[in-house]
Amino acid sequence: MLKKLKSDLKKRVGVYEWKKISDICPARIVQARAGQFSKDAYLFQVVVRIQQFQSISIYSKNGKLIGGDPDKPIPINEYVVFQKTTGPDGTPWLIYGKLEETKFLVPYKK
């Protein structure tokens, strides 16, 4: 994932400025999972929904606004996956990734 992020950053034009304006509501855990993957090691994952007003603007190398609007906050829903492992090679809580909200409904039959 880090390789992809670095590659994406190199492709960007200009300088991006991101601002959190305010929370729409408190962050909320929407899913939590745990599993044992060896005798003394566990994996924990938590998906947190974050709803905020944010603004983003893109400036050229000489400081001219070329995209976005720093004065126009937009509502954003983000789903961030945090992960932790325990055991001999345990890790602290880390951002594992982000999820996109599904745009379609899967039919459910009883």
| Domains parsed from the chain with CATH numbers | 13-99 (3.10.450.240)
CA–CA dist 17, 57 (Å, integer): 5
pLDDT computed for residue 74 by the predictor: 92
pLDDT of the residue at 86 = 94
90 contacts 62 by C-beta, under 8 angstroms: no
Count of alpha carbons within 13 angstroms of residue 70, beta-carbon side = 10
Q: Which residues of the chain have pLDDT under 50?
A: none
Q: Give the model's pLDDT for residue 1.
A: 61
pTM: 0.70
Quote the pLDDT of residue 108: 67
Q: What is the pLDDT of residue 9?
A: 66
pLDDT digits (tens, 9 = 90+) for 51-61: 999 998 989 88
The whole-number pLDDT of residue 50 equals 95
Report pLDDT for 7: 74
- The whole-number pLDDT of residue 93 equals 96
Helices marked H in 43-108? none
